[in-house]
């Protein structure tokens, strides 16, 4: 009886909503209703709690406006099919808008009420499962690998219950025996160097005969040579904190059908957008929207998926699928999809337990995102999650959201070029007066911004998503077309990390962004010209011109993103505040380690300490107590880099000078051991500026970095001009 009552209530509510959406009202009445909804959402956001019924009411109000816009857009604005030159671009824009609305509703389903942060269950002493820690590598620098391996060896877990494996795909038999002698020698040297490093640190080195099935094949080779109950995967640049296993393993003791515990990917360096726009210290990173809210939303529906690293996986589950899946180039999400369809469960732990590196250059960033996008399209093509047998309906919707998201490049490019159809060619792709466009589209956009702010406010600031989508779309769209046309074509490419930029310059793939910006500026000039010459169309021209100006603001900001700032630092500093002693010429001085990186540390002597005169290159020793009990040493050789003075006293810059493998263990203990420092930094950036202040902030950033990007272009143009004017030497005559 109760079910019938609930079903009837839902049916009545749906009919009321449909009636309100399709109710024919005047343009003025719609504008007033839209403004009332916007005001109500603002009041609910300002004075209501961030969760619960007030949040749902605000989202429901916003949904009503969005659906009314969809109804109006579908029934009143499409060009007649008889006008084919208008209909084709008009329908392409309509599809782009409907995709955006569909993805908005999928997002509402996924994250409207995300799973609260989980508390790790304790592990009873003596009942710890055995664990194999896999660190797959291909071409990463040995010093970077030494840091990750050292951090893994310091995990707070019984030493006889876990084994660390370095899975090297750069020193395979295939590579060591290839015909290219130079490359074969490099592979042989790499194998010998990493073998010696692993022996010195105390971990297992493993390679294989051939480089088959990329990362998935490498991991499966590790499975064949190990026996642990659980498998942990860390990317080569993902150094774990000491409590990683303590925060994750206990869940497997509670649920025998659990196949995955995934943790967030936390990065200690900025991505190209954050570095070039200088937002890393105060704005949430791009990945925080996914790891801070979306994965928690997926977790609510038992759909949190494997992200390739920082995860614990049940070996029994992998046995059902013969290991990690390798049909696509995103073996992580593919493996999770297969295991979810077989009835296994997953859990997401929202605590940063690793510190990783993001791509430094814009080209590497685009390469990484292209691989993710192509891999998700392969999953959609080969596995089709909406129709995958074994998945629940919520899981189908969640995987739809995760895969279809990567089609964003199509609507983003359509929104970019659509105003130009009218401004340049007078095509009527949107049959509406300026007043109608303003009334419906403005309220729809405001409601959309407010809904996104409700969902992601602390994790993604206004207009930043649009910027990230735009800077990726120009290159992701052809990559998606390529994989749709030939789904077997993409191959796994390792993302470059730890790159440096000796001088500021425009990215080698940045030229298209300047071309697009120039075209949009021409569109602005055409808008002004048409306003002067066609005053009878002023309402439409103003609205379309304003749309183009919005695109100019986003495209201008992108010029700053592709204008690479100089970055000569190979490693990135983190705040530490660890007590230490600085030993100089055999004399010990009490001090505090202010901050550090994999390359060195800045040491502040205690207030009552007077150091001797120091010169650059002077040898010294840094002594501090390691957190991990299995590190037998407490001294690190260093050299003095510089001595500075600030308002709080003296700062001594030191460079680590490791002479034995155990020194890398000590460096990793200093930099990576404590997860609280990552959580604290993460929380310091999670502020919600609101739609108005966020918009003003984005406008300020865009204006500044548009100018910076254009200045980089002028400098590059001068270099090209000097190169063209440089005399060319004639070839020597043969005699």
The candidate with the shortest Cα–Cα distance to 400, out of 328, 303, 272, is: 303
DSSP string covering 350-401: -S--EEB---SSHHHHHHHHHHHHHHHHHHHHHT-GGG-TT--HHHHHHHHH
Each residue of 399-431: pLDDT tens digit? Answer: 999 999 999 999 999 999 999 999 999 999 988
- Comparing CA positions, the residue from 626, 703, 688, 616 lying closest to residue 652 is 616
Please give the Cα distance from 470 to 21 (Å, whole number).
32
490, two tokens: 């993409």
| pTM for this prediction | 0.90
Report the alpha-carbon distance of residue 100 to residue 124 in Å, rounded: 48
The residues facing 167 across adjacent strands are 136, 206
Strand stretches in 34-184, DSSP E? 131-137, 162-168
Helix (H, G, I), strand (E, B) or coil at 343: coil
DSSP character for 51?
S
Distances (CA, A) of 140 to 145, 166, 236, 570: 7, 12, 7, 13
Considering only the C-alpha atoms of the chain, give the largest distance between any 2 of them, rounded to a whole number of Å: 105
Can you give the pLDDT at residue 707?
Answer: 92
DSSP 291: I
Q: Residue 27 CA to chain centroid, in angstroms?
A: 41
Beta bridge partners of 314: 230
Q: In this structure, are strands 619-623 and 600-605 parallel, antiparallel, or unpaired?
A: unpaired
Closest to 77 measured CA to CA, from 362, 469, 551, 430 = 430
How much of the chain, in percent, has pLDDT values that exceed 70? 92
133 phi, psi to nearest 5 deg: -100, 115
Predicted pLDDT of residue 278 = 93
Distances (CA, A) of 677 to 63, 354, 602, 670, 683: 39, 11, 17, 12, 10
What's the rounded Cα separation, in Å, for the pair 371 and 489?
12
Residue with tokens 């001294």: 635
Strands (E) located in 258-348: 258-262, 311-314, 345-348
Which residues, 6+ apart, have CB-to-CB distance to 481 below 8 Å? none
In the DSSP assignment, the letter for residue 650 is: E
Q: Are 156 and 247 in contact (CB under 8 A)?
A: no
User: Are 635 and 649 contacting, i.e. CB atoms less than 8 angstroms apart?
Assistant: no
The answer to whether 112 and 120 are in contact (CB under 8 A) is no
* DSSP percent split of the chain into helix, strand, coil, nearest 5: 55, 15, 30
543 in Cβ contact with 430 (< 8 Å): no
3-state secondary structure of 669: helix
In a 10 Å sphere around its CB, with 0-12 CB exposed, 13-18 middle and 19+ buried, how is residue 410 labelled?
A: middle
CA 357 – CA 377 distance, rounded (Å):
25
Pairing of strands 162-168, 131-137: parallel
- From 237, 271, 299, 332, the catalytic residue: 332
Distance from C-alpha of 391 to C-alpha of 397, rounded to nearest angstrom:
10
Catalytic residue among 169, 235, 271, 350: 169
Tell me the pLDDT tens digit for each residue of 472-512: 999 999 999 999 989 887 766 666 555 556 677 889 999 99
Burial classification of residue 276, based on how many CB atoms lie within 10 Å of its CB (0-12 exposed, 13-18 middle, 19 or more buried): buried
Q: Are 598 and 665 in contact (CB under 8 A)?
A: no
Kindly report the three-state secondary structure assignment for every residue of 426-454: CCCCCCCCHHHHHHHHHHHHHHHHHHHHH
Whether the Cβ atoms of residue 92 and residue 430 lie closer than 8 Å to each other = no
Instruction: Give residue 107's pLDDT.
Output: 93
CB 356, CB 267: distance < 8 Å: yes
Q: Is 332 an annotated catalytic residue?
A: yes
Q: Which residues of the chain have pLDDT under 50?
A: 6, 9, 13, 717, 721, 727-735
pLDDT value at residue 7: 53
7's CB contacts (< 8 A; 6+ apart) are: none
| Strand, coil or helix: 702 | helix
Angle ∠(612,616,620) on CA atoms, nearest 5: 60
């Amino acid at each position: 009886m109760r079910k019938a009552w609930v079903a009837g209530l839902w049916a009545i509510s749906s009919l009321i909503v449909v009636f309100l959406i399709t109710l024919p009202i005047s343009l003025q009445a719609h504008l007033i209703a839209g403004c009332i909804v916007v005001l109500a959402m603002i009041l609910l956001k300002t004075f209501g709690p961030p969760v619960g019924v007030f949040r749902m009411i605000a989202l429901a109000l916003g949904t009503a406006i969005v659906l009314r816009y969809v109804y109006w857009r579908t029934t009143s604005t499409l060009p007649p099919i008889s006008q084919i030159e208008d209909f084709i671009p008009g329908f392409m824009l309509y599809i782009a808008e409907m995709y955006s609305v569909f993805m908005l509703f999928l997002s509402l389903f996924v994250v409207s009420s995300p799973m609260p942060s989980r508390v790790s269950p304790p592990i009873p002493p003596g009942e710890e499962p055995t664990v194999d820690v896999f660190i797959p590598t291909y071409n990463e620098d040995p010093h970077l690998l030494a840091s990750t391996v050292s951090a893994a060896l310091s995990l707070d877990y019984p030493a006889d219950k876990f084994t660390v494996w370095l899975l090297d795909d750069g020193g395979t038999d295939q590579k060591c025996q290839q015909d290219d002698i130079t490359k074969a020698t490099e592979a042989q040297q790499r194998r010998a160097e990493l073998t010696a490093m692993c022996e010195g640190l105390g971990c297992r080195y493993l390679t294989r005969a051939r480089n088959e099935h990329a990362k998935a094949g490498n991991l499966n080779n590790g499975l064949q040579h190990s026996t642990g109950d659980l498998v942990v995967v860390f990317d080569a640049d993902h150094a774990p904190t000491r409590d990683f296993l303590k925060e994750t393993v206990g869940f497997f003791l509670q649920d025998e059908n659990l196949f995955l515990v995934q943790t967030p990917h936390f990065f200690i360096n900025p991505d190209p957008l954050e570095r070039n726009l200088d937002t890393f210290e105060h704005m949430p990173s791009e990945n925080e929207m996914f790891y801070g809210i979306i994965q928690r939303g997926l977790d609510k529906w038992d759909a949190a998926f494997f992200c390739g690293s920082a995860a614990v996986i049940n070996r029994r589950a992998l046995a059902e699928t013969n290991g990690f899946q390798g049909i696509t180039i995103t073996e992580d999400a593919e493996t999770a999809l297969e295991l979810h369809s077989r009835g296994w469960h997953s859990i997401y732990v929202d605590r940063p337990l690793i510190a990783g590196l993001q791509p430094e250059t814009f080209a590497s960033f685009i390469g990484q995102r292209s691989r993710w996008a192509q891999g998700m399209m392969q999953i959609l093509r080969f596995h089709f999650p909406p129709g995958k047998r074994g998945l629940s309906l919520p899981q189908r919707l969640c995987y739809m959201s995760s895969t279809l998201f990567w089609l964003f490049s199509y609507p983003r490019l359509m929104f970019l070029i659509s105003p130009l159809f009218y401004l340049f060619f007078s095509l009527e792709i949107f049959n509406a007066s300026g007043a109608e466009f303003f009334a419906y589209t403005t309220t729809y956009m405001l409601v959309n911004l407010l809904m996104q702010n409700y969902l992601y406010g602390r994790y993604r600031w206004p207009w930043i998503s649009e910027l990230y989508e735009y800077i990726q779309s120009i290159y992701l769209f052809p990559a998606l077309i390529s994989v749709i046309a030939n789904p077997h074509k993409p191959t796994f490419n390792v993302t470059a990390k730890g790159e440096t930029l000796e001088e500021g310059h425009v990215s080698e793939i940045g030229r298209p962004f300047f071309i697009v910006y120039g075209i949009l500026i021409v569109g602005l000039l055409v808008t002004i010209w048409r306003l002067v010459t066609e005053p009878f169309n002023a309402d439409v021209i103003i609205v379309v011109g304003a749309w183009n100006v919005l695109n100019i603001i986003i495209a201008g900001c992108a010029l700053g993103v592709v204008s690479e700032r100089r970055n000569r630092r190979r490693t990135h500093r983190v705040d530490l505040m660890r007590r230490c002693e600085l030993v100089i010429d055999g004399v010990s001085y009490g001090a505090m380690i202010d901050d550090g990186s994999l390359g060195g540390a800045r040491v502040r002597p205690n207030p009552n300490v007077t150091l001797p005169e120091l010169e650059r290159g002077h040898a010294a020793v840094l002594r501090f107590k390691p957190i991990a009990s299995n590190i037998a040493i407490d001294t690190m050789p260093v050299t003095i880099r510089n001595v500075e003075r600030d308002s709080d006293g003296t700062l001594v810059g030191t460079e680590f000078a490791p002479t034995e493998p155990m020194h890398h263990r000590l460096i990793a203990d200093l930099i990576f051991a404590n997860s609280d420092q990552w959580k604290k930094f993460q929380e310091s950036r999670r502020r919600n500026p609101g739609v108005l202040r966020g918009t003003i902030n984005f406008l300020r950033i865009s204006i500044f970095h548009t100018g910076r990007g254009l200045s980089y272009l002028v400098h590059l143009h001068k270099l090209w001009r000097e190169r063209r004017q440089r005399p060319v030497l004639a070839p020597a005559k043969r005699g």
